[in-house]
Every structure is written in structure tokens, then in C-alpha cells.
Chains A and B, each alone.
Chain A
Amino acid sequence: MNKLTEKFYPREHDLLKLYKGHYCPDDLKKIDRQTHEALKQLDIFKSLKHHCNIHYGWKGFPECSNPYKGGLRKEFILISLADWKASAISRRLRSVKHHLFYKVFKVWKDDKSDEKLREKKDIKEIIDSLKKGEDPNIVFDKNLAHLKRRSEDAKVCSFASLFVHSDLTEKWFNFFNDNNDYFGLPELISSTRDARRNIYDISGRKGVKKPIFFVRLKLNVNQKLARISDTKIINEVKNLMKKIPQAISGSQELYNLYDEILLVMRPNKIEDEIEEIKVKESLEKQLQSIDIFTTNYYLEGNILKTYLSNKKFLHNFDELFGEYQHSFYPKLEEKIEITKEDLQSSDKDYVEAKLAMLCELCQLASATVTLPKKNYNPQTGEITKSNVSEHLCSSCANLRFEQEREEKPTGVSNEEKGGKIGRNIARWEFEAEEKKKDIKLCFIKISLNMKELVLVLKERFQEEFEIDDIGDEDLGFSIVQEFLSDYKQFVDEYREKIFESYEEDKRINILPNFFCLKMEKEEGNKRGKKIKDIVDQFITLYQQNFPKFKKEKSPIEFSLTYSNIKYPFTEHWRYLTYRAKHSLNIFAVRKSLLEIEIDKYHKLSQMRIDSKRVSSFLHNLAKIEERTGNRLLLEIEVIRRRKDLGDEIFWPFTQRQINVSEILSYYKIFGEV
């Protein structure tokens, strides 16, 4: 085979784990000679032999054929290294003295007594497909269910799936291969010894240290959004997230989560940039080169220097997922002012904008464009100018132009483009005003607290496997990645479940984890009950997907805001972006706030507020609160009335498990119309 045309399969390197002969494919000579002969002829065979690159010549592998005949291309050594790095992370936690699992064990849902976890399954059809000459990429994609079921290491440490491991291996391979100018592997490797020396050099042999950096970045929308159509800025988040790894040279994305990304990168200039502060400066310059990284956004981040040696790798993992230590902004002027030259311009709109000085939308750049506010009339389809002007910077002005384009009626469904936001909201506002309809808006956002996730996962491992001393680094990326995969699936499932009850013109999908619902007044179906259904569905699905997470503490945060459509969107946005201190965060704008964990919610749900007696009592209690604001009076009233209302309703209160404020907030949000 011509070495120049050889193909590499980092993602597919472990497919033999679904059959036999994974550790040395040449062992198939004894087990299944015909398969061995067939695989040997294929491009993928050298990638399947990634362990052989390191153990060829050892006594324990008598069948192993020499992978170094004529020299082995460096890319195959990089597959070995990538495999090693991807699995070294996920194999810190050993389950061998407790249990062996063939199926990947997920501490958030699995039970170690479940015998199905130990059922071994050989998937010979995968190998048969390869033997027939099918493209290994396609074979991999067609068998995702098997890859997601099978643990990466069934013998010793089964907490990451073969799928996650394969995905991570490919990412590490890309990182090493794209940056070989830094890692310095020669094009051809001649022997096992040569391979080991090169790998140890990369890992950081004594005196030869090659640092790498993990960079975790979270994208924030900078401004306090005032109009719902401004949510176009939020829509752009996913485009911006795609551009970040492309803009940072020498980087590779390890995971992304809607508005958060984790990258591994090499320093650009080893002499200058081996310290975090220099890396930060270099990162900022590269981020500022992204065209859509405008003053509407800023990033928070952590930068962690590490080495590829086993001892040092991920030794400071907890810093990566702790509080963000850095921020990154587009270029900002030190002063924004109007000059004499500006005043002399013949462009009146320009002068008017310069007099305003600061862009009204982002408030971080000089205003240079005056735009009359435009109103979309959903009844006639007309767009008219109003007397009110906005003074914007050029980026924000472009945003307005794009919004206008999207707000024009078209025949195309805009849900995919995200362009329905402005039109739908305008239509709903029109309905509310012209047709005197009582319309409420409900925003739902689901987010993941990564710091809390690491804590909760550690606790689960400690409980499930009685492992006393677990560091954050023992979780690594594989287990986190495994969880993120299930989390994303959960978010998609929940969103689709909610959308089943709301037709397309009654909902807006802003981001996969952030959407808006239109609620109209209906006979016999109070909106309080609708809100409760939305919350209940979240809890049901959460408990189905993550049954082992405690109800007292969850890393997944559910936020819901709810108000009349006339209320400024900025009140919703402010809550949704700056709160989420508990698992359930429900804010009926200007009415009531309920921030509690799931177990408390269950206790409050026992109160049966649909019962007329209880409802009537709580209604009066709310009046007392409004008049007096005195918590003690409220508590006395509850104790006084509990006997005739029924002790079983109020026992969580008398047992001090919930307080009277929570009772009232619950009633105001779910009990009233």
C-alpha cells in the first residue's frame, strides 16, 4: 500500500471491541481466520492495530505482526496516543473490585444490581460490514446504538461508553495531528522503541516539557434585552459558538453545550506564551477577529495549563470547572466622545447619532447610525416608521436590518431560521391590543451548572461504589461528556413534549434549551394549571432520565418566567440570565417568585390548591400578606386553621419543611388564573 494514500480512522479505532481481538487484531488468526484475512486487506486494519504500535515485540503477543515494516506513518502513533489520552482520563475510577459492566454504567440512572448491565453482546454484523468493504465511517454511524451501549472498558472501568471514547479519541487525534509542528513527531516511525520515545517526549519527559492549555469559555449576551425581537441576538449564539474553535489557532473543541465550549490548545509561541496571562492576551486577539463577536456579547473563561504526562494531566481539573477567572470582549474604545469633525459632517443622521454618543442597544460602542423605529403591522403586513429613533453602532444597526428582513412576511417556515420571533410577538401583541385578548407569555430555560454537576457526580460515585477519595480529576472529560450527551437528549425530549401541546404559532424556539409559549385564557383550563403542567412534565422527565440524582440538589436548573404580554421583556431576561439558584426557579413577573428544590415542590404539591376550601384560605392568606407583610401573623393563621382544613395538607409546614412564603408563592403562581 502506498504510504501517501493510507487512511486513518481514529474514531473507528475500537470497533473490534464489539467483537473480538481488540487488543491485538492478529489474535483473530486463532479465533476467526477468515475475518482476520479479510480485515488485513482493508485500510482500517492499521488503525485497529493501535495497541500493537506500543506492544509489538512483547512476549504476551506472539501473533502480533510487525506494524513497522517499511516505517509506520506518524498518524498511526497519534491514534495510539489519542486513544491513550482519551481513556487515561476515563479509567481513573476503578470498579473492578465492585462490579464489572459490559454496558456503560451511568451513575445518574443505573443500578449496579441490574444483571442486564453485564450482558455481553458480540456484534458480528459490524465486522461483516467492514469485511464487505463498507466505509468504516458509515459502519460506525449505522451502529451508534451499540457503541453507546457498550462501555469503553468493560473489564476495569465502565463509566464511559465506547461512543464517547471514540469521539474523544478522534478529537485528540485531530489536536495532535493539526499541531504536529509543536509536538514534533517525525513522518515515519521505525520501531516500537522509537514510538515510545516520541510519545514520552510529547508527554513531558524530564527536561522536555510541552505544555498544553484547556480553555473553557462561556458566551454571555452583553446587554439587557428590551424587546423580544432582540432575542435574535441570542439566536446568533450558536453561530458564534461554531466560529470560536475555528478562530483559535492550534485548538480543538472537546465539548460544547449551547453557550459553553471546552477547548484544548497549544501555545502559539512557546517562548512567549507558556503563561496563562500571555495565553489570555493571545486568545483575546483571536476572538476579536471573529466578525460576529460584536459588542452584544462577551465571554467568560478559565485557562488551565497542563502537561500530557499521566501524573500532571488534569491535576487541576477543579479549577477548570470553578468560577470563571477571565473575561474576553471585542475591542472597546477607552473613550466615546463627539469631536469637532463629527459635528461638521453633512450627514444629519450621523451627527444625531454622534451627539447621542453611546449605542442604545449594546451600550459598549460609539453610535454612528440613526434608525427610525419601525413597526410591523401584522394585520396589514405593512412596516411603518415611527417618530422614535434609535442611535446605534454599526454592528447593532446591521442586526436591526437583519431583523427587519426576517420580520417581513414570507411563505417559508421560519422556525429553523429563528426568524419567527419578531413576527410572532408582533402578532400576539396585536391580538392582545386590538382583539382585547388576555395573552400571557411564558419563557422556559433549562441550564446546567457544571460546577454542581462535578460535585453531584462525585457524590454519586462515592455512594454507589464506596470510593472514599474522589478528586474532580477522576471524572475527567469522558464521564462529563457521557452525561452531557444524556443531558442534551433530555432537553430535546422535554422541549418536544411541551411543544406537543402548543401549535407552531403558539410557540417560539429561541435556542434548544430556551423557548417561549403563548398562553391564552381558556374556559375550564386555568393558566396556573398550565404552568403547573409545564413544571410537572419537567420533573417527571427529569426523574425518568436522572433517577439517581437527589431531589434535594440537582445540577440541572429549570427557570420559568411568566407575565402579561405587555410587560417589558427585559424583566424576563434579567431573571433568566442572572438567577437560577435552585433546581426550580419560577417567576411570575411582578407577582410572585418561587425558588425551590424538587423535594420541596413535591411537598407543596400535596396542598391540593384546586380544592375550594384550601384555595379560599390561601386567597385570604395572600390578602393578609399584602396588608401586613408580617410573616409571623401568616404562620399563626396557618396553625390556627390547619385543623379544620386538614392536617395532612399542611404537615410539611408544621414539620418545618416548607415555610409560609413558599406556600403563598406556590399558590399565587399555580392557584390563580
Chain B
Amino acid sequence: MMEKFFEYSFSSEMLCIGERVKKGTFKSCITTIPCSTISEALNAHLGREDIFALGFLDDDYLSKIDERKKRALMTTAPKDSALLVSKLPLVTEYLVEAKGKIFIRAVDGLEEILKKHPKFRMGALKSKGLGNCQVEFRRVLEEKDLKPIEGKLKTRIYEDKTTLTILGIKEIFKPIYGYLYKRTSPVSGYYQRSLFEGTILTGPKFILEEVEM
């Protein structure tokens, strides 16, 4: 039986969910909300360890992201703390006025606490003012949203038994692979092979874009 999920609208004035730093000078921003990032952010915000969430940005926002100049760059110069000398400048790409949806697996007390504290921090360069996010409860997902269909994944999820079971994913036809970080303790973790956006699989409708197979 499928787990219960809540749908929240999501917004952030300046958001950077970054990819790994390339050669120490440029950090690009992805255009979806991986389960690792949002789950970690909500766990930290709510002081829990059992939040499972995932999300993606609105199609309308994504389709006009360049036309409407919703990608911006910030240059920072991290200092070497011992020498007090700037290292190479780091250019970080971030999204402006990001809008999307978040889906959170239901746990006790979640609705009430997020209603009281809908704002949280997520992503990179929080010290520079990026990553302020806000969510607003929309609805409990219905059976039709959880119905398995064949489609393209709109977010990023771990390719492990736990995640696939939670989401009721049965078959993966065309994986698009990547790795997401999984924390095992406050100071350690590992990279888990994951399914990235564009993967074609059979899964719940709410995380997929329907395609004809």
C-alpha cells in the first residue's frame, strides 16, 4: 500500500542547489529539488531524522528560465582562514524567484509544525543570503496522484530499496544515473547511486511526466 504524502507549494527568492565545485571556480545550480537536499533541509529545520521529501520546480518556471533571466551569478572569494588571504574567486549560479512543489511523506505532527514554521533554509551560500525557502500546505495526495503510471521522473531520488519501496516504483526502463549524498551520521555519509530527472520508470503519477512507451 502506498504511503501518504502531503503536497506543498514551494518558493525561494534566491536558491542554489549546487553541483560539485568544478575546478574550484564555478558552481552550477540544478533545476530540480532532489530528495536528499529537501529531506536533509526539513530534518534540520524540524529537528528530526525521519522526513522523506522530494520536489521539483514548476514547468512554467523552467520553460522560461533563460528568457526571464531567472538564473543569476554570485561571486564570492572564500578566504584561507590561516593566511587571511582570498583563494580563487568562486562563482556560484543560483535561481531567482524559484517556484515549485514539494511532497513530504506524512509523519505525526508534520502539518501543524510546518504551518507554524513554514520558512526554512536549504542549499548553498546560506551565509550570503541564499536558500531562504517557504512552503505552504496544498493538499493530501489522493489515490489518483499515487496511481502508478509510466513516465519521466521530474526529481532526483536514491536508487535504493527503501526509496523505491516508499514510492512504489516497480520498473525502471531507462535510468538516468547520478549520485546523491546520504548522511549516515552528523559527520559522515556516502554517495548512493540515484535516479535523476529524465529517468523513465513506472511509479506514482505525482513525481512523473507522463510519456507514451
Which residues of A pack against B, CB within 8 Å?
224, 226-227, 298, 300, 323-327, 329, 332-338, 357-358, 360-361, 363-364, 373, 386-390, 568, 570, 574-575, 587, 590, 593, 661
Contact = CB atoms under 8 A, between A and B. Distances in A.
B87 interface: yes
Contacts of B200: 325
A321 to B, nearest CB: 14
Given A325-B173, A326-B174, A337 B67 contact: no
29 contacts: A226-B22, A226-B23, A226-B25, A327-B176, A329-B177, A332-B193, A334-B192, A335-B192, A336-B191, A338-B190, A357-B191, A358-B20, A358-B179, A363-B20, A364-B178, A373-B23, A373-B24, A386-B88, A387-B88, A388-B87, A389-B24, A390-B24, A568-B26, A568-B28, A568-B91, A570-B22, A570-B28, A593-B66, A661-B67
Contacts of A326: 173-174
A224 B179 contact: no
Q: Which 9 pairs show the lowest CB-CB distances between chains A and B?
A: A337-B190, A226-B22, A388-B24, A336-B191, A568-B26, A327-B174, A593-B66, A334-B193, A358-B191
A325 B213 CA distance: 7
Nearest to A575: B66
A300 B175 CA distance: 10
B167 to A, nearest CB: 18
Contact of A335 (B23, B25, B190, B211): B190
Given A224-B28, A388-B88, A661-B67, A323 B20 contact: no
A574 B177 CA distance: 18
Interface in B46-101: 66-67, 69, 87-88, 91
B23 A387 contact: no
B19 interface: yes
Given A227-B22, A390-B23, A568-B26, A323 B190 contact: no
B110 interface: no
A619 to B, nearest CB: 18
A298 B178 CA distance: 11
A224 B28 CA distance: 9
Interface of B: 19-26, 28, 66-67, 69, 87-88, 91, 159, 173-179, 189-193, 200, 211-213
A364 B177 contact: yes
Contacts of B176: 298, 327
A593 B64 CA distance: 10
Nearest to B87: A387
B211 A590 contact: no
A325 B174 contact: yes
Nearest to A388: B24
B190 A336 contact: yes
B23 A227 contact: yes
A436 B174 CA distance: 49
Given A387-B87, A661-B67, A336 B179 contact: yes
Given A227-B23, A388-B24, A570-B22, A364 B179 contact: yes
Given A325-B173, A332-B193, A587 B66 contact: yes
Contacts of A332: 177, 193
Nearest to A338: B190
A335 B191 contact: yes
B195 to A, nearest CB: 11
B147 to A, nearest CB: 22
Given A224-B19, A326-B173, A587-B66, A363 B179 contact: yes
Contacts of B66: 575, 587, 593
Contact of A226 (B26, B211, B213): B26
Given A224-B28, A593-B67, A357 B22 contact: no
B27 to A, nearest CB: 10
B69 to A, nearest CB: 7
Contacts of B191: 335-337, 357-358
Contacts of A574: 28
Contacts of B211: 323
Contacts of A333: 193
B20 A360 contact: yes
Nearest to B26: A568
A569 to B, nearest CB: 9
Given A334-B193, A357-B190, A568-B28, 16 more contacts: A224-B28, A226-B23, A227-B22, A300-B174, A323-B212, A325-B173, A326-B173, A327-B177, A335-B190, A338-B190, A361-B22, A363-B19, A363-B20, A388-B24, A574-B28, A593-B67
A386 B28 CA distance: 22
Nearest to B190: A337
A327 B175 contact: yes
A568 B175 CA distance: 29
Contacts of A324: 174
Contacts of B190: 335-338, 357
Contacts of A364: 177-179
Nearest to B67: A593
B23 A388 contact: yes
A661 B69 CA distance: 13
A338 B187 CA distance: 13
A326 B189 CA distance: 31
Nearest to B213: A325
A174 B189 CA distance: 52
A371 B17 CA distance: 26
Contacts of A390: 23-24
Contacts of B212: 323
Contacts of B91: 568
Contacts of B20: 358, 360, 363
Nearest to B64: A593
A363 B200 CA distance: 21
Contacts of B189: 337
A643 B54 CA distance: 54
